Structure 1
Amino acid sequence: MADVYDPFDPGFQADPYPAYRRLRDDDPVHHHEDPPFWALSRFDDIWAATRDAEAFSSARGLTFYPDEIGRLGLAPTIVMLDPPRHTVLRRLVSHGFTPRRTAALEDMLREFARSRIAVMEGKAADGEVPDLHRDFSSPLPTFALAHLLGVPEADRARFDPWVTALTTLQDDGFDMKAMKGGAVEAVAEMFAYFTDVIAERRADPSGDLVSALTAAEVDGERLTDWDVLGFCFVMVAGGNDTTGNLVSHAVALLDGDHAQRERLAADPSLIPNALMEFLRLEGSVQALARTTTRPVTLHGTEIPEGEKVMMLFGSANRDEREFGPSASELDVTREIARHLGFSSGVHFCIGSHLAKLQARVALEELLAAHPNIGVDLERAERISSPFTRGWVTLPATGIETA
Structure 2
Amino acid sequence: MTQTAPATSAAPPDDVVPGQEVYTPEFRADPYPVYARLRAERPVVKVRTPRFDSFLVTRYADARQALSDPRLSKDLYRAGDTYLAVFGEKARQINTNMLNSDPPEHTRLRRLVTQAFTPKRIEAMRPRVEEIVAGLLDRMAPRGECEFVDEFALRLPLAVIGDLLGIPEADHEEILAGTQVIRTVGTGGRSPQEDRAAIGQAQERLHAYFTGLVAAKRAQPGEDLVSALITARDGDGRLSEAELVSTCFLLLFAGYQTTSDFLGNAVVALLTHPEEMADLLADLDRVPEAVEELLRFDGSVPVSSFRFATEDLEIGGVAIPAGSIVTVVLSAADHDPELTAEPDRLDLDRGPTQHLAFGHGVHYCLGTALARLEATTALRQVLLRLPDLRLDVPVEELQWLPAASAFRGLLALPLRFTPTPAPGGTP
- Common fold, TM-score beyond 0.5? yes
Aligned to 1:120: 140
Aligned to 1:100: 120
Q: Deviations over 1:294-316 (max 9, x none)?
A: 22223432111110111111100
Contact 2:186 2:192 in 1 (8 A): no
Contact 2:44 2:318 in 1 (8 A): yes
Amino-acid identity (%) = 31
How far apart are 1:293 and its partner, in Å?
1.4
How far apart are 1:138 and its partner, in Å?
1.2
Contact 2:183 2:407 in 1 (8 A): no
Q: Which moved more, 1:230-239 or 1:377-386?
A: 377-386
Q: How does 1:76-95 map to 2 (within 5 A)?
A: 76-95=96-115
Letter in 2 for 1:80: N
> Which structure 1 segments of 5+ residues have no match?
none
- Measure, in 1, the Cα distance between the counterparts of 2:128 and 2:419: 24
Contact 2:303 2:327 in 1 (8 A): yes
Q: Deviations over 1:74-105 (max 9, x none)?
A: 25321010111001110000001112212222
Aligned to 1:233: 249
- Measure, in 2, the Cα distance between the counterparts of 1:290 and 1:182: 24
Q: Which moved more, 1:315-324 or 1:195-204?
A: 195-204
Q: Which moved more, 1:254-263 or 1:306-315?
A: 254-263
Aligned to 2:153: 137
Q: Which moved more, 1:27-36 or 1:338-347?
A: 27-36
Letter in 1 for 2:97: T
Residue of structure 2 aligned with 1:203, choices 201, 213, 219: 219
- Measure, in 1, the Cα distance between the counterparts of 2:235 and 2:197: 44
- Asked whether 1:48 is paired with 2:65, we answer yes
Letter in 2 for 1:27: R
Aligned to 2:322: 305
Q: Could you say what the CA RMSD is over the residues aligned between the two structures, in angstroms?
A: 2.6
Letter in 2 for 1:208: D
- Measure, in 1, the Cα distance between the counterparts of 2:234 and 2:313: 35
Distance 1:189 1:298, change over 3 A: closer
Aligned to 2:14: none
Q: Deviations over 1:257-286 (max 9, x none)?
A: 223223322322211121111111111111
- Measure, in 2, the Cα distance between the counterparts of 1:372 and 1:347: 40
Aligned to 1:342: 358
Q: Deviations over 1:103-140 (max 9, x none)?
A: 2222122122122112222433xxxx411111111110
Q: How does 1:274-285 map to 2 (within 5 A)?
A: 274-285=290-301
- Measure, in 2, the Cα distance between the counterparts of 1:275 and 1:343: 16
- Measure, in 1, the Cα distance between the counterparts of 2:196 and 2:132: 32
Aligned to 1:385: 403
Contact 1:14 1:382 in 2 (8 A): yes
> Which structure 2 segments of 5+ residues have no match?
4-16, 421-426
Q: How does 1:1-400 map to 2 (within 5 A)?
A: 6-34=21-49, 35-52=52-69, 54-60=70-76, 66-68=85-87, 70-74=89-93, 75-124=95-144, 129-168=145-184, 177-179=193-195, 182-219=198-235, 221-288=237-304, 289-324=306-341, 326-375=342-391, 376=393, 377-386=395-404, 387-400=406-419
Contact 1:166 1:237 in 2 (8 A): no
Contact 2:303 2:329 in 1 (8 A): yes
SS at match of 1:341: coil
Contact 2:186 2:195 in 1 (8 A): no
- Measure, in 2, the Cα distance between the counterparts of 1:397 and 1:285: 27
Contact 1:379 1:395 in 2 (8 A): no
SS at match of 2:350: coil
Q: Deviations over 1:40-71 (max 9, x none)?
A: 1000001111111x211111289997351534
Distance 1:86 1:66, change over 3 A: same
Count of residue pairs brought into register by the alignment: 393
Contact 1:165 1:187 in 2 (8 A): no
- Measure, in 1, the Cα distance between the counterparts of 2:282 and 2:223: 38
Q: Deviations over 1:29-50 (max 9, x none)?
A: 1122343221110000011111
Distance 1:59 1:119, change over 3 A: same
How far apart are 1:292 and its partner, in Å?
1.0
TM (norm. structure 1) is: 0.90
- Measure, in 2, the Cα distance between the counterparts of 1:239 and 1:249: 17
Distance 1:248 1:205, change over 3 A: same
SS at match of 1:320: coil
How far apart are 1:199 and its partner, in Å?
1.4
Q: Deviations over 1:339-392 (max 9, x none)?
A: 110011011011111111111110111111125323342443211133321011
Letter in 2 for 1:239: G
Distance 1:381 1:399, change over 3 A: farther
Distance 1:391 1:79, change over 3 A: same
How far apart are 1:171 and its partner, in Å?
8.6
Contact 1:47 1:344 in 2 (8 A): yes
Contact 1:251 1:373 in 2 (8 A): no
- Measure, in 1, the Cα distance between the counterparts of 2:130 and 2:316: 48
Contact 1:168 1:180 in 2 (8 A): no
